[in-house]
Amino acid sequence: MPRYFFNLHNGLGPILDEEGQILPDIEAARASALTGIRSVLADELARGGLDLDGRLDVVDDRQEILLSVSFEEAVAIKRPTGR
Q: What is the mean pLDDT of each successive set of 10 residues along the chain, which is 83 residues long?
A: 96 93 97 97 93 96 96 92 73
Check residue 77 and give its pLDDT.
87
Q: How many CB atoms lie within 10 A of CB 9?
A: 17
Of residues 10, 50, 17, the one with CA closest to residue 66:
17
Q: Which pLDDT does position 83 carry in this prediction?
A: 62
pTM of the model: 0.89
